[in-house]
A = this chain, B = another copy of it.
Amino acid sequence: MIFFGKARSANKVQHLISLCRALLSERGEVSGGRLASEVIAAYQSLGAQAVQDFFDRLVTEFSPDPGAVQAAAKAYLEKPSEGHLAQLQAAADPPRQELFRRWNMAPGGIGVLIQMRRTLLGTLKAHPERVHLDSDLLHLFRSWFNRGFLILRRIDWGTPAVILERLIEYEAVHQIQGWRDLRRRLEADRRCYAFFHPALPDEPLIFIEAALTRGMTSDVKPLIDPQSPVADPGAADTAMFYSITNCQEGLRGVSFGNSLIKQVVEDLGREFRRLRTFATLSPIPGFRVWLVATDPQWDSLDPASASQAKRRELTALCARYLLQAKREKEPLDAVERFHLANGASLERVNWMADPSPAGVKRSFGFMTNYVYRLDDVEKNHEAYAREYRVVASRGIERLAAR
């Protein structure tokens, strides 16, 4: 019985491989749409093990032919002409790239490819040989999800439920507790924007949540409290970005966040002429691990009952972590790297900004404000890109210097 199952599964993989070959052949050009649909249906009918087998065969059978690459490499070395270069490129080009392009001829093809890569990513550790298969998919996605093709849409209570449901599902930074919570996050004093791709109209790729406030917020609670009163957006002078979420694990490595923030800052600035400050209230994911590794006694600290002195000490250490803890030349903190590379500056460290158990566990409840000043974004970015300079406020620098 089990044996039979394996045999059927092997048959299914074999069938799928044959369809893939047909799709890649010349016949694929005319019957592309139909063949691609069959390929996709065949792939989707595979069990978990069969998917693994299919990945293996994509690696072994749809990679460049080593013999052909060697021949082309030799020819090029003998005579490095344009013609030989073209032959070398063609020989080195993995057939599966073209294969995946043709999958996309079927309706929904692109969604299936994203799901497939998501599955693939989970197997890379155990199967390092699949890293090139992964690169091929990533290469395609970078080309297809190019900024020029993306559509920025505002998300509000008039957005289709099918999309809102995804937001509830995907939000990773501050979980959305059902429809009521979501509704609060879409009220008049909030803004939510997402990037979409035209071929995936119901699938947000990334979304950002902002609150329109008076002054820069140092405490996450009012931002995510479903019961908080709705403020007058016309009176706001600050846009607080309190959450940014990548939705498609299968698109890991295609970066959207930077474009999204820049676009939203521009749009909000146009809509609300009184907005002066665009700031985040961001987690500090690496602080606790770093601190405890430095000095294990901190592990037992409960910030809720910490003394004033401890609090001051810890705040200085947090500033030091942000300014001085490095991974090679870059800051150790991943969120910090993201915002600095986008051109933000480090503005403020906030004690007990996220007093939830998760917040305490992550960083003793600390959160940071990064600020996007339109006039400085480019300059900051370049300083960071050139020399990994961390642009920070005087306050933080003083704290770290204590």
| A contact set with B: CB distance below 8 Å | 26-27, 29-34, 63-64, 66, 69-70, 73-74, 76-77, 80, 82, 85-86, 88-89, 92-93, 101, 104-107, 109-110, 129, 131-132, 135, 140, 142-144, 146-149, 151, 157-162, 164-165, 178-179, 183, 198-199, 202, 255, 258-259, 262, 341-343, 377-378, 381-382, 385
* B101 close to A143 (CB less than 8 A): yes
Contacts of A159 in B (CB 8 A): 160-161
Contact, CB under 8 Å: A69 / B82: no
> CB distance B161 to A158 under 8 Å?
yes
Pick the residue among B32, B64, B74, B158 that contacts A162 (CB under 8 A). Answer: B158
Check if B104 sits within 8 Å of A148, measured CB to CB.
yes
**Bound CA span A105–B132, Å:** 26
Contacts of A69 in B (CB 8 A): 76, 80, 85, 88
Q: Which 5 A-B pairs have the closest CB atoms?
A: A198-B198, A104-B148, A73-B73, A105-B147, A158-B160
16 pairs, CB–CB < 8 Å, chain A vs chain B:
A27-B382, A29-B341, A30-B378, A30-B385, A33-B262, A70-B77, A73-B88, A101-B142, A101-B146, A107-B148, A110-B148, A158-B161, A158-B202, A161-B161, A165-B183, A179-B179
CB distance from A265 to the nearest CB of B (A): 12
User: Which residues of B sit under 8 angstroms from A160, Cβ to Cβ?
Assistant: 157-161
B85 and A76: CB pair below 8 A?
A: no
Given A80-B70, A341-B30, A148 contacting B106 (CB threshold 8 A): yes
CB distance from A296 to the nearest CB of B (A): 38
- So how many copies of this chain end up in the complex? 4
| Residue among A148, A151, A259 having the largest count of chain B Cβ atoms under 10 Å | A148
Q: For the complex, what is the distance from the CA of A328 to the CA of B149, rounded to whole Å?
A: 41
Give the distance in Å from the alpha carbon of A107 to the alpha carbon of B148 in the complex: 6
Q: Which residue of B lies closest to A143 (CB)?
A: B143
Chain B residues with CB under 8 A of A101: 142-143, 146
Complex interface: chain B residues within 8 A of A33 (CB)? 147, 259, 262
A378 to B73, CA, bound (A): 39
Do B64 and A85 have beta carbons less than 8 Å apart?
A: yes
How far, in angstroms, from A106 to B263 measured CA to CA in the complex?
Answer: 12
> Which residues of the partner chain B approach A255 to less than 8 Å between Cβ atoms?
29
Measured between beta carbons, the chain B residues less than 8 angstroms from A258 are 29-30
Q: Quick check: A93 and B88 within 8 Å, CB to CB? A: no
- Are A104 and B157 neighbours in the complex by a CB distance under 8 Å? no
